[in-house]
Amino acid sequence: MKPPLVSVHIITYNQAPYIADALDGALRQETDFGVEILVGEDCSTDGTRDIVLDYQRRHRERIRVITSEHNVGTHANSRRAAEASRGKYLALCEGDDYWTDPHKLQKQVDFLESHPEYSLCCHDVDIIFDGVPEVPRTHRYVEFTGETFSFEDVVRRHFIPTLSIVCWREPAVRLPDWFTQCISGDIPLELLLLDKGLGYYMHERMGTKRNNRGSVSLKPERGAVARESFLQMYKHMDSYTQGRHREILHWKIARLSLHLAGQQLKAKRFVPLFRHILESLRYDRTAIHDAARRRLACHRQ
């Protein structure tokens, strides 16, 4: 077997109904370079571990399962899988998602190998909904019409499906200590990569993201907690990148702070309300001006 140029990075916990699709999608990849498949299995209780160990037994040269006798959590599980990888590139796929194009890795790696200024390559995906009432079964991910994108583009509007990412390994392994405090690792990882290079978006549908009833992206109650977590993440990112992206990060922090202020106003919590307003003003005064203009325009309609 060729030494791996790409390490496929599949993180899973209690995904027994879906994990075989993720593994089969990785095994079906047709490449002219070596590929290893690393499965970070976080002590599942639903039979997921038995499934991935059976795949490892049947594909011993291609699959390595990394697990433990106790649950370590999403970030630690992801980090230990990344640290065990040997490839120049990482290809990400969560355990309930799957790839549909057998040439996906070849296309993305060919691009990255011929464009060393790019640290990340992604693509279109479909989304399917399992067990979710009153939602169309299939629709597209967030539309992005461009090809090359930057750190600033992702701060302004997130559009990268995690299962579509192929990226440099090193930034994904050398993560800052504050990374483990983030409610989600997707956006901070993408920004750490885009601090080192550009991103490229392929407009081909080469994978499927599965949302199910337990998906955190379908839980509206996580909104305030997520925004507070992202607010802290953007502050850490500003410090970590030593001001290289200060203008766009301050723009984002101010608007997140103002949004949180609005939530505090609805709840009649006035101390945190004024704290968030002052924070918004400190980072970017235009956030309040923009919000006031939008409110005035709505009243005039």
- Residue ending a domain, among 190, 218, 246, is 218
pLDDT for residue 51: 98
Confidence of residue 21 (pLDDT cuts 50, 70, 90): very high
The residue range of the domain holding 142 is: 4-218
Tokens of 74: 């999403």
Q: Which of 94, 97, 122, 98 is nearest to 109 (CA)?
A: 122
Q: Are residues 254 and 274 in the same domain?
A: yes
Q: Which residues contact 89 (CB under 8 A, 6 or more apart)?
A: 5, 6, 7, 109, 112, 166, 167, 168, 169
Task: Tell me the HSE value of 178 on the side-chain side, using a 13 A CA sphere.
Answer: 14
**pLDDT tens digits for range 116-170:** 999 999 999 998 887 555 555 555 566 678 899 999 999 999 999 999 999 999 9
Q: Which residues contact 213 (CB under 8 A, 6 or more apart)?
A: 130, 131, 132
Average pLDDT of span 263-280 = 86
Q: Are residues 99 and 203 in the same domain?
A: yes
Q: Are residues 72 and 209 in the same domain?
A: yes
Average pLDDT of span 216-221 = 48
pLDDT for residue 226: 86
**pLDDT tens digits for range 50-77:** 999 999 999 999 999 999 889 999 988 9
Could you tell me the CA-to-CA distances from 294 to 77, 288, 291, 297 in Å, in that order?
43, 10, 5, 5
CB neighbours of residue 113 within 10 Å: 13
Residues above pLDDT 90, as percent of the chain: 69
- Residue ending a domain, among 188, 218, 248, is 218
Average pLDDT of span 29-56 = 97
**pLDDT tens digits for range 24-34:** 999 999 999 99
Give the DSSP letter string of 196-252.
Answer: TSEEEEEEEEEEEEEEETT-GGG-GGGHHHHHHHHHHHHHHHHHHTTTTTHHHHHHH
Q: Are residues 213 and 228 in the same domain?
A: no
Q: Are residues 151 and 26 in the same domain?
A: yes
As for how many domains the chain has, the answer is 2
pLDDT for residue 150: 98
pLDDT for residue 101: 98
Do residues 185 and 75 make contact, with C-beta atoms less than 8 angstroms apart?
yes
Q: Are residues 98 and 237 in the same domain?
A: no
pLDDT for residue 141: 62
Chain Cα centroid distance, residue 110: 22
Write out the H or E segment, with its range, that includes residue 64.
strand 63-66
Q: What is the residue-averaged pLDDT of the chain? A: 89
Q: Are residues 214 and 294 in the same domain?
A: no
- What span, in angstroms and rounded, lies between the C-alpha atoms of 7 and 36? 5
pLDDT for residue 293: 67
Q: Are residues 68 and 193 in the same domain?
A: yes
pLDDT for residue 132: 57
Could you tell me the CA-to-CA distances from 167 to 139, 140, 144, 195 in Å, in that order?
25, 22, 19, 13
- Residue ending a domain, among 168, 194, 218, is 218
Q: Are residues 107 and 252 in the same domain?
A: no
Does the pLDDT value for residue 218 go beyond 50?
no
Does the pLDDT value for residue 36 go beyond 90?
yes
pLDDT for residue 220: 46
Q: Are residues 40 and 106 in the same domain?
A: yes
Q: Are residues 143 and 100 in the same domain?
A: yes
Q: Are residues 21 and 154 in the same domain?
A: yes
* This prediction's pTM: 0.90
Does the pLDDT value for residue 258 go beyond 70?
yes
- What span, in angstroms and rounded, lies between the C-alpha atoms of 21 and 130? 14
The CATH number for 93's domain is: 3.90.550.10
Average pLDDT of span 23-47 = 97
Confidence of residue 301 (pLDDT cuts 50, 70, 90): low
